[in-house]
Structure 1
Amino acid sequence: MTIFVDIAALDDIPRQGARVVKTGQGCVAVFRTADDRVFALEDRCPHKGGPLSEGIVHGDRVTCPLHNWVFDMNSGEAQGADTGMVRTYPIRVEHGRVLISAALVARSNAA
């Protein structure tokens, strides 16, 4: 059973944007889509280490700001001709609050 912890209000994350959560396992990009779905991904593109949190969100995809690699936020897999993937993490929204897996967050600071 996954235990979740509250990290932010949904409204703290801009639509089609992201916020970064610092965890004991590294930085996690928390994305919000235009239709208010949320996704949590490792905030580092495997290609050149670009910060995915600064990428462009389109549907359930995010494009790396450095070299335009596109990742499916459901699976973390690179799309098209690019190969690679980023880790995804359990996340959900309850009563307007964003909750992430407690196992991931040893000490978190929303940035």
Structure 2
Amino acid sequence: MSWIDIGALDDIPVRGARVLKTQLGCIGLFRTGDDRVFAATNACPHKGGPLSEGIVHGQKVTCPLHNAVFDLETGEGTDGYVIETYPVKVDGGRVLVDGATLSRRSAA
């Protein structure tokens, strides 16, 4: 994996999210109450709702437009919807995302 440092863990609010803009679109970075960080597609596949504006609970996020719930680790959601997830890790208080995986994502 090719890890890219994208910022400090403290830049993402606890039980909140931030958006990472890439050449192929935006992904959401989600921080849980126990400081785990997940990276996933920011747009809900149902109506394109910005998942980074949803409610983070446990390791899940709820879409702000239609209340679909997505597991941030697997991408599986209610109503048969699925979001893409990306490798991310926290090292020394810094958030790192796998650049190779991001460069292979589809433009949606």
Match of 1:12 in 2: 11
Unaligned runs of 5+ in 1: 106-111
Q: Provide runs of 4+ in structure 1 moved above 3 Å.
A: none
> SS of 1:5's equivalent?
strand
For normalisation by structure 2, the TM-score amounts to 0.92
Q: CA deviation at 1:93?
A: 0.2
Match of 1:88 in 2: 85
Count of paired positions: 102
Unaligned runs of 5+ in 2: 104-108
Residues of 2 paired with 1:35 and 1:25: CA distance? 30
Residues of 1 paired with 2:25 and 2:11: CA distance? 21
**CA root-mean-square deviation:** 0.9
Letter in structure 2 aligned against 1:65: P
Q: CA deviation at 1:22?
A: 0.4
Q: CA deviation at 1:67?
A: 0.4
> SS of 1:100's equivalent?
strand
Higher relative contact order by CA 8 Å / sep ≥ 6: 1 or 2?
1
Q: Deviations over 1:45-83 (max 9, x none)?
A: 01110000000000000000000000000111103xx11
> SS of 2:17's equivalent?
strand
Letter in structure 2 aligned against 1:83: G
In the alignment, does 2:21 pair up with 1:22?
Answer: yes
> Counting helix residues as a fraction of each chain, which structure ranks higher?
2
